[in-house]
């Protein structure tokens, strides 16, 4: 199952998914559409450590520091290609959710997201997001809070 809405319904998680006619594929697009800071967009980026996918949720204005992420994972990491993301996670780049997978990948949430009360995360498509507290996002994704940005 790679449908975020189905996952939410199955788990009884109630989130208000907001759809936009124009895409919110980038953090800048999403922040303009929502009227919020770019940092409040919790973009999710997929990495690979060996044969394991790794997800990282971070502020839309931040970049992952690969050395810090590698130290957290315990091995070198590389960003997944668009084809790998679609094939292995079932989503296209710009719509990758931080949680909602049959087998949740190891997930990290950058500590900078916790400065916000509410963040907006991708809901499975490049034109849908949902508001959530960083604490709930961390809980739902079974994520590790870490300092992994530049």
Tens digits of residue pLDDT in 74-129: 999 999 999 999 999 999 998 999 999 999 999 999 999 999 999 999 999 988 99
CATH number reported for the structural domain that contains residue 28 in this entry: 3.90.960.10
Q: Which domain holds residue 115?
A: 4-146
Distance CA 138, CA 146 (A): 11
Burial class (CB in 10 A: 0-12, 13-18, 19+), 145: middle
Angle at 88 between CA 53 and CA 55, to 5 degrees: 30
Predicted TM-score (pTM) of the model is 0.93
Share of the chain above pLDDT 90, in %: 82
Mean of per-residue pLDDT scores for the chain? 93
Query: 84 or 29: which carries more pLDDT confidence?
Result: 84
Give the start-end residues of each E strand in the chain.
Answer: 18-19, 41-49, 52-59, 78-79, 106-110, 119-122, 128-132, 144-146
Q: What whole-number percentage of the chain has pLDDT above 70?
A: 98
- Domains of the chain: total: 1
What pLDDT was estimated at residue 22?
A: 75
pLDDT band for position 20 (cuts 50, 70, 90) = confident
Closest CA relative to residue 56, chosen from 74, 72, 40: 72
> Cα angle vertex 130, ends 126, 133, to 5°?
135
């Amino acid at each position: 199952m790679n449908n975020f809405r189905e996952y939410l319904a199955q788990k009884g998680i109630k989130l208000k998914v907001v759809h936009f006619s124009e895409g919110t594929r980038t953090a800048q697009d999403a922040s303009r559409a929502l009227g919020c800071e770019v940092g409040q967009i919790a973009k999710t980026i997929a990495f690979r450590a060996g044969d394991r996918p790794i997800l990282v949720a971070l502020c839309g204005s931040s970049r992952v520091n690969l050395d810090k992420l590698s130290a957290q994972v315990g091995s070198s990491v590389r960003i997944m290609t668009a084809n790998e993301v679609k094939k292995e996670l079932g989503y296209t780049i710009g719509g990758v959710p931080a949680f909602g997978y049959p087998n949740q990948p190891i997930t990290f949430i950058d500590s900078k997201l916790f400065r916000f009360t509410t963040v907006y995360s991708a809901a499975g498509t490049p034109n849908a997001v949902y508001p959530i507290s960083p604490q709930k996002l961390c809980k739902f994704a079974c994520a590790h809070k870490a300092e992994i940005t530049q």
